[in-house]
Amino acid sequence: MKNDLLENLNKPQKKVVTSTDGPLLVVAGPGSGKTRTITHRIAYLIENNHCSSENIIAMTFTNKAAEEMKNRLSFLIKPNKQNKINASTFHSFCAKTLRIYGNHIKINSNFTIYDDLDQLALIKQIAKELEIDPKKFPPKAFVSNISAAKSKLQTYEYIAANTENYFDELFSRIYKKYTLKLSQLNSLDFDDLLIKTCTLLEETSILKDKFSQQYKYIMVDEFQDTNLVQYKIAKLLSSYNRNLCVVGDPDQSIYSWRNADIQNIIKFQKDFPDAKKISLSENYRSSSIILSAAKNLIEVNTLRIKNELWTKNNSGDPIILKEGFNQDDEAKFVINEIKKLLAKNTPLNQIAIMYRTNAQSRAIENACLKYGVPYQIIGGLKFYRRQEIKDITSYLRVINNPNDDISLLRIINIPPKGIGNKTIDRIKRIAELTNTSIYSALELLISDNKQIELELNNISKTQKKSFKEILDKFSKLRSELDNLNLLEIIDLTLELFSYEKYIKNTLDNPEEKWENLKEFKISAQEFTTENTNASLNEFLENISLVSDVDSMEEKISKITLITLHQSKGLEYNTVFIIGLEEGLLPHSRSLDNTEQIEEERRLFYVGMTRAKRNLFLTRSFKHGLWGETRINIPSRFLKEIPRKYIDNNIKSKEHNTPSQIKLQPHINKVENTIKFKVGDKIIHPKFGEGIIVSLTPAQEDVQATIAFSNNTGIKSLLLSLSKIKKSTK
């Protein structure tokens, strides 16, 4: 078996597999056989008696990647040694750990996991209680700031002690109340899963010793996408044996907006100075032209670990570069080329169209519908976010955790029971005054507590009856948890709350919504089959941790529409990357920040290296962007691809475009004006002092919107012509 596991591996891959002791850093370029190498290393450790499968844990970033790893290992490891393969996402590992051991840090095992929609709902509720204007201070900003703070292990106390402005002060108040509310509601958000596990391991030495001794080998995939907390967890788990293997590629670090820290690779080398470093440089995926073009692009970046990628693959076809007149023309070209590929028997599921932002899919979707090309869109409305699915999930979450206010408030008037917003606000007030959950407030309400009734201003008997009926139904369902299986609980829930009748009599597209609920029941049935004696708690945890990419269907005969961020880890015979314009890729938010420009370049690099055989790069001469139609300049990244790899002379009678993209070097006025950024104080020779409030690409220039301090007001000026200077005041 030892020799079998090393067969057909290249020299660096063999070195990774057989490096069994001590810390190990693997720099794995795109298409370098990373997953194959990791799985063979795990199998090698087990088959050569270094340890059993229970002593290894592999951390991935999607459930899909974890399942793929398990499937591959099932073929590599002898059946008698396949006890339990610990491959999971960080969040799944942490959720399961807290279910079992969370009581050590006062976490109840039936906690609810809040997704971003639940978070947003709770933040909106808190902002309303604190009388914070959502128009001036958008709740989404608080959600992202909370996540950023948690990823750096910054508590609300830390934020409160380091406020610099009014927003910081509001944020610290929101953050504090959000933290206390989550605890009160017996709920954790995704960041909490990581933080609480880290706290558990740090504060409970018995558990840290137990885990670090149990897991003799720890492997972390996509290490460049880890944040500070994830890295700390990995270090804590490896504290006893020090056999920590991290696999990553700084050139594919594209999740700083999720608080991923590219510096973790540097930190790893400092924390483990004795670590071996092995580079996987041979690419098995892409043609040599695609790989060489991508390599030239990424070498422009300065923040990277050098990895000399190469391939034995054929040169392949040149990269096709196309300019459409507008987005619709660009989309028409893409569909036309797809039809040519189909005529050559290219499978639909081997074609992907990638873009920087979800909004860019509109023109492509319209073209697919118009010309009859079947497609699946990744990043649209997730199955578990659909109205009817969110409703039934909320019912189940309240059964599991009565303190889950967000779920209860969602379905308290579904189906309609005459419970209006004013009544709900009164109940929230009772919960706040009594420092309890909404569920407990309802229990107080129906108990004929005179003080409560006074506060509620004599709530109607009809409403009180409705609340009693709701609580009775939940009580019955909770009492049946030990008697009924998961599917029976779902059926009983739908029956008690008359949800089928509600769908058919009240909602649009009732047949589609009921079919979605049937699909939900199938997923519950499958989960029960795969997990014997599965609890409601476990099922809810499972669906909370499902990502878009996890649920995508790769075998169906459809092209894939997907954002560049979501394309990580995937591969296709043919890839179209659309919208290659300044302001889109790179995104407008990155134009005045060198580090962000480098991340945008890495994002483009990731997209390019998803392609095996054919790569199409497209843009439009005119583009609708943020509600305006304007002429946009080509992305600066196009100039960083050597012309020898590109064919930009593709002809099509169906497309009437002003010109093909010219790649000859030219002066880019955007780069000449990049010294200015939003918020800069400036001086204009005519209008005087002002502040830059926005910067927008405009042809081969940048349009600055400036608020002047005198009676001049707001002016829009082209930076190359404006003769403005930064103020030294």
Active site residues: 34-35, 221-222, 252, 610
Strand partners, 701: 698
Beta bridge partners of 559: 375
Assess contact for 380 and 588: CB atoms under 8 A: no
Q: Residue 664: is it exposed, middle or buried by C-beta count within 10 angstroms (0-12/13-18/19+)? A: exposed
Instruction: Quickly count helices (H) and strands (E) in the chain.
Output: 30, 22
Number of C-beta neighbours around residue 595 at 10 A:
13
The beta-carbon contacts of 465-473 under 8 Å, at least 24 apart in sequence, are: 466/417, 466/418, 466/419, 467/419, 467/442, 469/417, 470/412, 470/417, 470/442, 471/439, 471/442, 471/443, 471/446, 473/497
Read off the DSSP letter of residue 345. Answer: T
Q: Of 275, 287, 215, which Cα lies nearest the Cα of 248?
A: 275
Alpha helices by DSSP H, listed for 588-636, are 594-608
By DSSP bridging, strand 56-60 and strand 319-324 are: unpaired
Alpha-carbon span 610 to 573, nearest angstrom: 8
Q: How many CB atoms lie within 10 A of CB 263?
A: 15
Q: Which amino acid is at 531?
A: N
Distance of alpha carbon 624 from alpha carbon 326, whole angstroms: 8
Residues in the chain: 729
Q: How far is 105 from 83, CA to CA, in rounded Å? A: 30
Distance CA 29, CA 224 (A): 12
- Please tell me the distance from the alpha carbon of residue 542 to that of residue 523, in angstroms, as a whole number: 11
How far is Cα 143 from Cα 171, in angstroms, rounded to an integer?
10
Q: Which residues are registered as beta bridge partners of 320?
A: 616, 647
Alpha carbon separation from 274 to 21, 37, 42, 216 (Å, rounded): 11, 22, 22, 18
What 3 state SS string does 39-99 have? HHHHHHHHHCCCCCHHHEEEEECCHHHHHHHHHHHHHHCCHHHCCCCEEEEHHHHHHHHHH
The pair of three-digit structure tokens given for residue 287, joined into one six-digit string: 């043609």
**Exposure string for 488-503, b = 16+ CB within 10 A, e = fewer:** ebbebbbebbebeebb
**To which residue do tokens 């002791």 refer?**
21
Sequence-distant (6+) residues with CB within 8 A of 718 are: 698, 701, 702, 703, 704
Distance CA 57, CA 59 (A): 7
Cis omega (within 30 of 0) on the bond before 416? no
Tell me the backbone φ, ψ of residue 631, rounded to 5 degrees. Answer: -85, 125
**CA 724/CA 280 separation, integer angstroms:** 49
